[in-house]
Amino acid sequence: MMTKIMAINSGSSSLKFKLFIMPEETVITEGIVERIGSVDAIFSFKYAGEKNSRTTTIKDHQQAVQLVLDTLIKQEIIKSYDEIAGVGHRISHGGTYYQDATLIDEAVEAHIDELSTLSPLHNPVNLIGIQSFEKVLPTAKQVAIFDTSFHHTIPEKNYMYALPYRYYEEYGIRRYGFHGPSHQYVSEKAISLNPATHKMITCHIGSGASIAAILEGKSINTSMGFTPLAGLVMGTRTGDIDPQIIPFIQEKEGLDAQGIKDLLNKKSGLLGLSGISNDCRDIEAAASSGNSRAQLALDVFAHQIIHYIGAYAADLNGLDTLVFTAGVGEHSASIRKMVCDSLTYLGVKIDESKNQDNALSIESADSKVKVMVIPTDEEVIIARDVMRVAQLEK
C-alpha cells in the first residue's frame, strides 16, 4: 500500500520539505520556503523534473505551511490533505527525554519548548513548524525526529563534562551531539556499500559541521556537545575555544549574555576569521586570489577536522572507513585533500582524479582506509522514522 509522508525541517526563517511515497522512498516533490517573515520570501520546489520558484510575502511559518500545502493541491500533486498520512519534524534537541523518534502529543511539545534553552536557534522554530502542521493536517500522524537521538549510544566517559556533578543531575549538562539523521544515514549507507566497515568516522561538513566516531554502526563520540556550538569551526560558529575567553571579552567589550551568544554563534567561525563570508566557496575563491586571511580561515577549518579525526581514530582504536558529507564535505575537493593529506599516518591515501570528480569512493588503490563521499539524506531518515513510529507500515 502506498503511503505519503512529509519530511519537514523548520529553520528560523525557512521551511524545507520533501513528500515521499513510502515504503518505496520515492520523492514526489521537494522544496523550500526562504526568508519567512519578509515581503520578498522565496518559495521554490521541484516536481516532475521541473523547478518552480516565486517571490511573495510570507509573514510567518503558519502561512508558509499553508502555501506549501495549497501548492500541492493546485499542482495536483495530491487531491486532498488527507492523502498525507504522516509528517516528520526534524527537532534539534531532545535532551535526556528522547533516545528515539516519538509521536507528538502535548507532553512532547512541552519538552521541546523546555529544551529551547539548550537550542535557542532551533527548537523554538521546530515547535512552530509542528504546531503549524497540526492546524492544517489534524488527521496526520505527527512525529518528532531528534538530532540528538542517534548519539544516545555515546558512553558516559565520552559525554560527561568535568563540572560539578550536580549540573548534570539538575540541568542535564552533558554532551548530546547533533546532525544525528545525517550521521545515521551516511553511516548506514557506508556499511551497506562496504560491509567490512567496523571503525568509521563520518564528517558532516557544511555551514554547521560535526564529526562522529561510529563503532559497529553506533555513535560512540561526536564533536558537537551540550549545544551545536561546540567542536569544529563552522560558518559563523566558533567551535571549541578556551572558555575563559568568554568572560574576558565580556569585560573588555561590555557585552551581555545575548551579545556573547550572538558573537559565538553568528559572528565567528569562517566569517569571523576571514572577514569575507561564512560560505566556504567564497573563502576558497578569495584564498586562490591570494587573500591571506581567507587562506588562514581554511587552514584553521581543515586543521580542526584533522584534529578530531585523529582523536576519534584513537577512540575507535583504528579506522577502516572515512566518510565526507554535507555541502562542503560533498563538494569541496580541496578541503577533502587538505584533510586527507594529513592522515597518511592512518593509511589514508586519496586518488586525485576521483577526488576532483566527487566520486563515491575517492581512496587510491593502496589506501588502507576506505574514503567515501556520500550525499546525505536526512529527510529519508525522517520518513522512515515516521513509518516505524506511527506504525504506518503494513
The response to whether 9 counts as a known ligand-binding position is: yes
Is 329 annotated in some ligand binding site?
Answer: yes
111 is in an annotated binding site: no
* Cross-strand bridge partners of residue 37: none
User: Does the annotation flag 265 for ligand binding?
Assistant: no
Active site residue 40: no
Q: Is 207 flagged in the annotation as binding?
A: yes
* Residues whose CB is less than 8 angstroms from the CB of residue 321 and which lie 6 or more positions away in sequence, other chains included: 190, 194, 197, 199, 200, 201, 369, 370, 371, 372
- Cell 526534524 appears where? 90
Residue 39 and residue 33 in contact, taking contact as beta carbons nearer than 8 Å: no
Residues 81 and 78: their CA atoms lie apart, in Å, by 7
The answer to whether 169 and 135 are in contact (CB under 8 A) is no
336: left (phi over 0), alpha (psi -120 to 50) or beta: alpha
Say if residue 347 carries a ligand binding annotation. Answer: no
Alpha carbon distance 98, 90 (integer Å):
13
Cβ–Cβ < 8 Å for 210, 231: yes
Query: Which H or E element spans position 51?
Result: strand 50-58
Q: Annotated binding residue at 16?
A: yes
* Beta carbons of 131 and 8 less than 8 angstroms apart: no
End-to-end CA distance of the chain: 7
Strand order in the sheet with 370-373: 218-222, 209-215, 199-205, 321-325, 370-373
Burial class (CB in 10 A: 0-12, 13-18, 19+), 244: exposed
Residue 170 is assigned to a ligand binding site = no
336 is in an annotated binding site: no
Q: Annotated catalytic residue: which of 40, 105, 147, 377?
A: 147
Neighbour-count burial of 224, counting CB atoms closer than 10 A to its CB (0-12 exposed, 13-18 middle, 19+ buried): buried
Strand-pairing partners, residue 86, are 5, 141
The answer to whether the annotation marks 37 as part of a ligand binding site is no
The answer to the question of whether 327 is labelled as a binding residue is: yes
Residues annotated as catalytic are: 147
Binding residues for substrate: 90
Binding residues for Mg(2+): 9, 378
Binding residues: 9, 16, 90, 204-208, 279-281, 327-331, 378
